[in-house]
């Protein structure tokens, strides 16, 4: 008899679990870059891996966030985006980003030659529409 009561309990638990799942999934996959229409996939991939961590709306890296917020970038006007891209081009070409200090502990965060080429080309705005 007792076991019958377990069923609704399990059902509720199950429901809670499944309701929770999509939310978690959204959280994990919350990179807004996925919806940035003008940004080529290869650029998104690099930014996602190498830049987004410090430069997003919820970043704990206040300085980084203040200078560049990819979340805001997406929503900003084309003219603003162009200005930001120019800055990005500068820091990437100069090798200023990701910050050297950070790379001392996270060498895997360094831009590869390919990453560098991808970001440089994109941020130079060569591919005009």
Residues that bind ligand HEC (CB under 6 A): 50-51, 53-55, 61, 63-64, 67-68, 87-88, 91-92, 97-99, 102, 109, 111
* Of 17 and 58, CB closest to ligand HEC: 58
**What's the Cα-to-Cα distance from 34 to each of 6, 29, 74, 107, rounded to whole Å?**
42, 9, 10, 26
Q: How far is the CB of 37 from ligand HEC (least distance, A)?
A: 19
8 A C-beta contact, residue 46 and residue 116 = no
Q: How far is the CB of 54 from ligand HEC (least distance, A)?
A: 3
Nearest to 36 by CA among 71, 87, 83: 71
DSSP code, position 127 = S
Q: How far is the CB of 80 from ligand HEC (least distance, A)?
A: 13
């Amino acid at each position: 008899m007792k076991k019958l009561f377990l069923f609704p309990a399990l059902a509720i638990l199950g429901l809670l679990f499944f309701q929770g799942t999509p939310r978690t999934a959204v959280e994990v996959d919350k990179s807004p870059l996925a919806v940035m229409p003008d940004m080529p996939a290869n650029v998104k991939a690099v930014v996602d891996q190498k830049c987004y961590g410090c430069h997003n709306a919820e970043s704990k890296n206040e300085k980084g966030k203040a200078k560049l917020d990819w979340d805001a970038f997406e929503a900003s006007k084309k003219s603003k985006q162009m200005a930001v891209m120019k800055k990005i081009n500068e820091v990437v070409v100069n090798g200023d980003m990701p910050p050297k200090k950070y790379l001392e502990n996270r060498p895997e965060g360094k831009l590869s030659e390919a990453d560098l080429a991808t970001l440089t080309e994109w941020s130079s705005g060569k591919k005009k529409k």
